[in-house]
């Protein structure tokens, strides 16, 4: 009963040595939803109550077990939780006692066998996963399920739940976990397949090309069956010098090679196999490279985003932001990319102008603000009809006071991030008097929006661990509009690094993808003196089925980290921070790791000895424009490069 | 002989001088921590009575390319740890716990939107931090109550929109904060975690969240049942009688009173004038301003007073790429005696041990 007194914490400098808190009961077990009352008193060394002492309670896991200040407990979630009874003696902090509250997991209610078929053909394998569910149909992750076959001569099961049909007959598949057992009767049928017809869509291909193979099991009469066929391959790569894995095959028959060589695809059904071989050659025998055309050095501040546009005078311009500095937006004439010229600067009350965008007609620039001295950040609209004399026309900070990190302008509407978990849609058709017309917010607990990109009436937001959200803001697919944004598709991946998104409809396959970029700094960010080593990659998500998007491919440069991206035609441009600017071929079907497949066309590492961090590439954002690729570099400003054939070796 | 006596006297005198020097108290060094909101740094400042210098810069936060906004600072009662609020998260802000001996991060706890100022109660051992939430719609926000030993939020008490100026009464039994947009002063029972009283600080009750007074800070008096509220929008400081729960005096001040501190003897009130860029020193008894000292840079923000009551350490944010600054004001001489540049947008400040 007085066990709590024994574990009363000693608080240095207080009267913990002289007094203890006694709690009744000292520990207890409660079911979810059950209540209990704790009682506490403070006693001296002789066990006598202390007159001027008071005890209050608090929980160190209030969402799992709550407690009133008077000690009434309510169990909410399973686990072992701690409640503190803390004393005040004479108005000062006194000793405390710890009460352990155990809330057991709900009772297991059933075992489910996921993936268990009704019948199998002999010689084929399926994977079955057993789960224990509680009375609320929630999986008990703390309990495992052991699978067993009633007749190993009919079907065998390995340690990973793979059930292989051995011979015709019936067997019982049982799953045991949490004190429960469930059974499933499975019939093993004789395998009618006597031959496999295996065809390849092509005989030769390039690395990175997705080749489709079709394998059909034929019975003794040559008729097609529905018996599943398993695909595998072996390779004879041209490069035999310690090469790593060389390709990837899916069980729907799609194969992609990463390195040049011969690839033999093997189709298996029971004891019947078929083979066919294809040759995959190097994707780009004619090498290309990116060459510097021009550079506008920014050495006194870090550079953030860029936007390049054709002005109403027909010349080409660019605006860049600044990061952790003086609130500047820099305007450049880039008509001749070899002579990039800074032509104007707008300074606003901010430390970071993280994002900059220009309207489709080239007349209005909007910039985001963070770090305003009056903490009314919001956005600033700038008339750029004459980019040499940009003029601030309005500010909008209503409900955007906490800072706008990213924004987008589309069809007279500005999409501005705020509060970390929503973007507001602002009508800027009259830039002198903007107004809020809509809002899109993530309501999931702890959800956070980082960026938004709008095209064809769809807003693609990037939301860290909540992934990519597709919202109708005028496309019509879900009845949405700028004043009524309607979400219609989403996809999230586990790392929680989703930072940017760019849509892409493949002209070759018709598939609709979203390329989702990571941002991650596991080794920190060096603002001065030293280079930075970010991580992350481009996730390629097939949204062709909006209800069931699939992450099908990636582009991952080793030892580097992604930031912003752009797609033009079938070319992907990636600002790969310390990995520089990367240009990637995304034609055809996409599967696997595009980097390893040799789809990268060229790369460029911008460095400058007078950069904010000297000689340290840190590419922030790319934008192709009229045959050149412009990009901003966090350490060295604005660059223009051009993709050319690599004519050969030189120093 | 004469030479011997002279030598002896000189030696005695020298020894005495050495003895005096050895028994002189070492020069006192004051230390403060300063949060630099737009550079995501905390600077530890040392002041030896003449010169202030940055002893150490501590990079804080976890999202390197975002401005995360370290805002509020406090040092635990025994000085073993210091605590920092980080305003911007994904989306919620954080409370960080650092070990004082080596400024090493030892714990964190997620709070609400834009956690800001905070203090630990000696009576409960708990930390009380306002969730300022300057984002978006001006809805009522909360005060997070944290067990700083385990870095666990144990309660969240709703108050008003944009609560700020989180301060605990000298006896540790009550927590005070001001809701900037509704103009209320809130009193929370530090033990029950419940709001027990609120007081409208606007003379004319505002409609909605349109407080004219815009109170930004509340500072309890160290020895009397009084508290002082900075009425940022009215260029005034209100003196509240905590027993009667009414405003008993209003001091007209310079523009933008923002943070407040009372000297340990309870005689002087230090006011930062954010808009005017000055530091006001007031005599509480007479209600007269003794001095208004320009900050080295604009946007004057936070203030703490040394435990001996001699110096006020005051932050000024600056603007744009201007560095923030810590000004040291001699409260006897009523003049600025030292300054040191720190990171961008210097705001929250706490006394070290």
Give the CATH number for residue A271.
2.60.40.10
Best mutation target, B57, B91, B116, to test chain A (most A CBs within 10 A)? B91
Shortest Cα distance, chain A CAs vs residue B216, angstroms: 13
Asked if the structure places residue A51 within a domain, the reply is yes
Q: How many Å is the Cα radius of gyration of chain B?
A: 22
Residue B24 lies inside a defined structural domain of this protein: no
Give the residue from A140, A38, A123, A124 showing the smallest Cα distance to A81: A38
Per-chain mean pLDDT for chain B: 92
* A 593-612: CB under 8 A from B: none
CB contact under 8 A, A349 and B192: no
Contacts of A526 (CB under 8 A, 6+ apart): A532, A613
The pLDDT assigned to A228 comes to 94
Pairing of strands A65-67, A27-29: unpaired
pLDDT digit string, tens, across residues A18-65: 899 999 999 999 999 999 999 999 999 888 999 889 999 999 999 999
Q: Evaluate whether residue B5 is within a structural domain.
A: no
Residue B178 lies in a domain: yes
State the pLDDT at residue B25: 57
Query: Per DSSP, what are the bridge partners of residue A205?
Result: A280
Q: Which residue of A has its CA nearest to B87?
A: A402
Residue A651: per-residue pLDDT: 54
Give me the mean pLDDT over the A354-369 stretch: 97
pLDDT digits (tens, 9 = 90+) for B243-269: 999 999 999 999 999 999 999 999 999
Selected residues 51-70 of chain B with any CB under 8 Å from a CB in chain A: 59, 63-67
Residue A7 scores a pLDDT above 60: no
Contact at 8 Å (CB) between A100 and A36? no
Q: Is B187 on the interface with A (CB under 8 A)?
A: no
User: From the CA of B318, how many Å to the nearest CA of chain A?
Assistant: 7
Tell me phi and psi for residue B17, to 5 degrees.
Answer: -65, -40
Smallest CA–CA separation between A375 and chain B, in Å?
8
CA A210 to CA A247: how far, in whole Å? 10
Q: Do B173 and A91 touch (CB under 8 A)?
A: yes
The answer on A99 and A8 residing in a single domain is yes
- Tell me which of A253, A281, A309 is where a domain ends: A281
Q: Tell me how far the alpha carbon of residue B22 is from its chain's centroid.
A: 36
Across B254-275, b (16+ Cβ under 10 Å) vs e yields bebbbbbbbbeebebbbbbbbb
At residue A8, the pLDDT reads 42
pLDDT band at A96 (very low <50, low <70, confident <90, very high): very high
Q: Confidence band (pLDDT; 50, 70, 90) for B65?
A: confident
Q: What mean pLDDT is predicted for residues B25-50?
A: 91
Q: Is A402 at the interface with chain B, CB within 8 A?
A: yes
Q: Is residue B4 part of a domain?
A: no
For residue A172, give both structure tokens: 């019982």
Residue A522 near chain B (CB below 8 Å): no
Regarding whether A246 and A206 lie in a shared domain, the answer is yes
Q: How confident is the model at residue A135 (pLDDT cuts 50, 70, 90)?
A: confident
> Is A204 within a domain?
yes
The residue out of A281, A314, A346 marking a domain boundary is A281
A81 touching B, CB under 8 A? no
Q: Which residues does chain B have within 8 Å of residue A12's beta carbon, measured at their own beta carbons?
A: 78
User: In a 3-state reduction of DSSP, which class is residue B293?
Assistant: strand
User: What share of chain A in percent tops pLDDT 90?
Assistant: 88
C-alpha closest to that of A514 among A533, A531, A490:
A490
Closest partner residue to A325 among B135, B171, B321, by Cβ? B321
Q: Is residue A69 part of a domain?
A: yes
Judgement on whether residues A9 and A83 belong to the same structural domain of the protein: yes
Contact A56 B126 (CB under 8 A): no
User: Distance, in angstroms, between B283 CA and closest chain A CA?
Assistant: 29
Mapped onto helix, strand or coil, the DSSP state of residue A98 is: strand
List the CATH number of the domain containing A143: 2.60.40.1080
Check whether residue A262 and residue A219 sit in a common domain. Answer: yes
Residue of A nearest to B132 (CA): A402
C-alpha A503, offset from chain centre: 15
Kindly determine whether residue B147 and residue A58, on different chains, have CB atoms separated by under 8 Å: yes
Angstrom distance (rounded) from CA A262 to CA A226? 30
Please, are residues B70 and B60 in contact by the beta-carbon 8 Å criterion? yes
Q: Which of residues 272-311 of B touch A (CB under 8 A)?
A: 298-299
The continuous run of DSSP H or E covering B10 comes out as helix B2-23
pLDDT of B175 above 80:
yes
More confident residue, B176 or A9: B176
How much is the average pLDDT of B142-150? Answer: 97
pLDDT of residue B134: 84
In a domain, residue A116? The reply is: yes
Do the Cβ atoms of A623 and A332 come closer than 8 Å?
no
Mean pLDDT score across all residues of chain A: 94
- The Cα A70–Cα A634 span in angstroms is 56
Which residues on chain A are in Cβ contact (under 8 Å) with B37?
371
In a domain, B144, yes or no: yes
Nearest chain A Cα distance for residue B118, angstroms:
18
Mean pLDDT over A328-357 rounds to: 97
Instruction: Report pLDDT for B137.
Output: 76
Query: A67 and A120 share a domain?
Result: no
Q: Is the pLDDT of residue B279 over 80?
A: yes
| Bridge pairing between strands A628-633 and A619-625 | antiparallel
Tell me the residue range of the domain where B217 lies.
30-351
Angle at A74 between CA A69 and CA A80, to 5 degrees: 100
At B17, which helix (H) or strand (E)? helix B2-23
Residue of B nearest to A406 (CA): B66
Q: Cα A229 from chain centroid?
A: 33
Q: Which residues 61-80 of A have a C-beta within 8 angstroms of B? A: 61-62, 69
* B109, B89 contact by CB (below 8 A): no
Total domains in the fold of chain A: 3
> Do residues A113 and A129 both lie within one domain?
yes
Give the per-residue SS3 of B45-63.
EEECCCCEEEEEEEECCCC
Residue B274: strand, helix, or coil: coil
A75 and A55 in a common domain: yes
Are B321 and A351 a contacting pair at CB < 8 A?
yes
Which chain A residues contact residue B317 at CB under 8 A? 373
B153 part of contact set with chain A, CB < 8 Å: yes
**B152 vs A60: CB contact, 8 Å cut-off?**
yes
Predicted pLDDT of residue A5: 39
- Check CB contact of B136 with chain A, cutoff 8 Å: yes
Residues 559-598 of A with CB under 8 A from B: none
Closest by Cβ to A420, choosing from B59, B78, B91: B91
DSSP A481: B
| Domains in chain B, number | 1
Which residues in chain B are contacts of A59 at CB distance < 8 A? 154
Domain membership of residue B17 (yes or no) is no
Q: Which residues of B touch A370 (CB under 8 A)?
A: 38, 67
Q: What is the DSSP letter of A17?
A: G
Mean pLDDT of B315-343: 96
Yes or no, beta carbons of B65 and A521 under 8 Å apart: yes
Does the pLDDT at position A15 exceed 50?
no
Q: Which residue has the higher pLDDT, B349 or A524?
A: B349
Interface of A with B in 407-446 (CB under 8 A): 418-422, 446
pLDDT tens-digit map of A260-307: 999 999 999 999 999 999 999 999 988 899 999 999 999 999 999 999
pLDDT at A4: 38
Residues of B in contact with A446 (CB under 8 A): 90-92
CATH no. for residue B89?
2.130.10.10
- By residue range, what is the domain housing residue A225? 195-281
Q: Which has the closest alpha carbon to A129: A143, A113, A117? A: A113
Residue B183 domain-assigned? yes
Does residue B349 contact residue B340 with C-beta atoms inside 8 Å? no
Kindly determine whether residue A351 and residue B135, on different chains, have CB atoms separated by under 8 Å: no
**Chain A residue with Cα closest to B109:** A60
Of the candidates A620, A618, A578, the one whose C-alpha atom is nearest the C-alpha of residue A321 is: A620
Q: Which of B88, B122, B155 sits opposite A58 (nearest CB)?
A: B155
What is the C-alpha to C-alpha distance for residues B86 and B70, in angstroms, rounded to an integer? 4
A650 pLDDT band, cuts 50/70/90, is: low
Residue A633 lies in a domain: no
Best A12, A52, A62, A88 residue to mutate vs chain B (most B CBs within 10 Å) = A88
Give the Cα separation of A87 and A81 in Å (integer).
Answer: 20
Q: pLDDT at position A565, please?
A: 98
Picking from A281, A301, A327, the residue at the C-terminal end of a domain is A281
């Amino acid at each position: 009963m007085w066990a709590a007194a024994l574990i009363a914490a000693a608080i240095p400098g207080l009267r913990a040595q002289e007094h203890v808190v006694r709690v009744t009961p000292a520990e207890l077990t409660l079911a979810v939803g059950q209540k209990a009352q704790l009682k506490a008193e403070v006693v001296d060394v002789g066990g006598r109550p202390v007159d001027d002492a008071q005890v209050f309670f608090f929980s160190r896991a209030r969402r799992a077990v709550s407690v009133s200040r008077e000690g009434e407990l309510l169990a909410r979630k399973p686990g072992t939780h701690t409640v503190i009874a803390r004393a005040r003696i004479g108005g000062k902090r006194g000793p405390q006692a710890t009460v352990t509250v155990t809330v057991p997991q709900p009772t297991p209610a059933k075992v489910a066998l996921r993936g268990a078929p009704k019948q199998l053909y002999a010689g084929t394998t399926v994977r079955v996963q057993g789960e224990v569910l509680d009375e609320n149909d929630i999986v008990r992750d703390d309990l495992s399920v052991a699978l067993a076959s009633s007749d190993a001569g009919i079907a065998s099961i390995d340690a990973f739940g793979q059930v292989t049909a051995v011979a015709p007959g019936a067997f019982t598949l049982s799953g045991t976990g949490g004190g429960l057992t469930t059974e499933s009767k499975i019939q093993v049928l004789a395998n009618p397949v006597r031959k496999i017809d295996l065809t390849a869509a092509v005989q030769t291909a390039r690395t990175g090309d997705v080749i489709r193979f079709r394998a059909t099991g034929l019975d003794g009469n040559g008729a097609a069956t529905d018996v599943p066929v398993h695909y595998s391959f072996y390779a004879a790569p041209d490069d035999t010098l310690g090469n790593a894995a060389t390709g990837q095959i899916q069980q729907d028959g799609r194969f992609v090679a990463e390195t040049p060589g011969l690839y033999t695809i093997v189709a298996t059904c029971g004891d019947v196999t078929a083979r066919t071989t294809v040759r995959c050659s190097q994707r780009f025998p004619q090498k290309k490279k990116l060459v510097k055309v021009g550079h506008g050095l920014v050495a006194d501040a870090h550079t953030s985003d860029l936007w390049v546009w054709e002005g109403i005078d027909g010349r080409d311009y660019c605006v860049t932001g600044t990061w952790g500095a003086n609130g500047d937006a820099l305007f450049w004439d880039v008509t001749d990319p070899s002579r990039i010229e800074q032509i104007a600067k707008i300074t606003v009350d901010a430390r970071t102008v993280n994002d900059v965008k220009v309207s489709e007609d080239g007349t209005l620039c909007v910039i985001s603000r963070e770090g305003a001295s009056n903490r009314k950040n919001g956005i600033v609209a700038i008339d750029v009809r004459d980019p040499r004399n940009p003029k601030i026309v309005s500010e909008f900070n209503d409900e955007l006071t906490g800072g706008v990190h990213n924004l987008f302008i589309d069809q007279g509407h500005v999409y501005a991030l705020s509060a970390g978990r929503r973007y507001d849609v602002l009508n800027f058709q009259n830039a002198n008097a903007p107004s809020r017309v809509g809002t899109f917010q993530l309501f999931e607990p702890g959800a956070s929006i980082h960026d938004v990109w709008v095209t064809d009436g769809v807003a693609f937001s990037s939301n860290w661990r909540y992934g990519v959200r597709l919202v109708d803001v005028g496309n019509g697919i879900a009845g949405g509009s700028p004043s009524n944004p309607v979400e219609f598709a989403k996809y999230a991946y586990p790392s929680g690094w989703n930072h940017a998104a760019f849509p892409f409809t493949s002209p070759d396959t018709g598939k609709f993808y979203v390329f989702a970029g990571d941002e991650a700094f596991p080794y920190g960010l060096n603002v001065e003196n030293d280079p930075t080593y970010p991580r992350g990659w481009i996730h390629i998500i097939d949204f062709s089925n909006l209800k069931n998007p699939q992450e099908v491919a990636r582009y991952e440069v080793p030892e580097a980290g992604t930031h912003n991206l752009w797609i033009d035609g079938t070319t992907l441009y990636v600002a790969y921070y310390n990995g520089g600017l990367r240009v990637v071929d995304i034609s055809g079907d996409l599967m696997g790791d595009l980097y390893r497949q040799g789809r990268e066309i060229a790369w460029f590492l911008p460095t400058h000895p007078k950069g904010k961090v000297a000689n340290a590439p840190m590419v922030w954002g790319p934008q192709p424009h009229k045959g050149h690729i412009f990009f901003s570099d966090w350490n060295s400003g604005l660059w223009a490069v051009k993709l050319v054939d690599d004519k050969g070796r030189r120093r | 002989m004469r030479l011997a006596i002279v030598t002896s006297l000189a030696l005695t005198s020298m020894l005495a001088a050495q003895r005096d020097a050895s028994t002189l108290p070492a020069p006192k060094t004051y230390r403060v921590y300063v949060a630099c909101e737009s550079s995501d740094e905390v600077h530890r400042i040392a002041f030896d009575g003449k010169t202030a210098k940055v002893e150490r810069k501590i990079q804080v936060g976890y999202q390197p390319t975002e401005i995360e906004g370290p805002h509020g600072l406090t040092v635990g009662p025994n000085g073993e740890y210091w605590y920092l609020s980080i305003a911007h998260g994904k989306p919620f802000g954080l409370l960080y716990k650092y070990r004082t001996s080596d400024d090493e991060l030892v714990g964190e706890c997620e709070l609400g939107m834009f956690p800001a100022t905070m203090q630990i109660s000696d009576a409960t051992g708990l930390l009380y931090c306002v969730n300022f939430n300057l984002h978006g719609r001006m809805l009522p926000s909360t005060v997070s109550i944290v067990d700083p030993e385990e870095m666990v939020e144990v309660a969240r008490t709703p108050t008003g929109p944009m609560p700020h100026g989180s301060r605990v009464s000298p006896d540790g039994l009550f927590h005070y904060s001001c809701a900037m947009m509704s103009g209320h002063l809130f009193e929370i029972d530090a033990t029950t975690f419940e709001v027990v009283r609120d007081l409208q600080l606007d003379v004319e009750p505002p409609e909605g969240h349109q407080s004219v007074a815009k109170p930004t800070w509340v500072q309890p008096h160290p020895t009397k049942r009084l508290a002082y509220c900075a009425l940022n929008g009215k260029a005034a400081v209100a003196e509240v009688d905590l027993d009667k729960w009414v405003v008993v005096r209003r001091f007209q001040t310079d523009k933008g009173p923002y943070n407040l501190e009372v000297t340990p003897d309870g005689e002087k009130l230090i006011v930062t004038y954010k808009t005017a860029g000055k530091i006001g020193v007031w005599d509480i008894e007479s209600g007269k301003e003794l001095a208004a000292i320009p900050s080295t840079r604009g946007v004057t923000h936070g203030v703490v007073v040394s435990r001996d009551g001699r110096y006020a350490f005051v932050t000024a944010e600056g603007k744009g790429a201007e560095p923030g600054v810590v000004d040291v004001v001699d409260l006897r001489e009523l003049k600025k005696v030292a300054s040191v540049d720190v990171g961008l947008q210097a705001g929250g400040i706490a006394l070290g041990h």
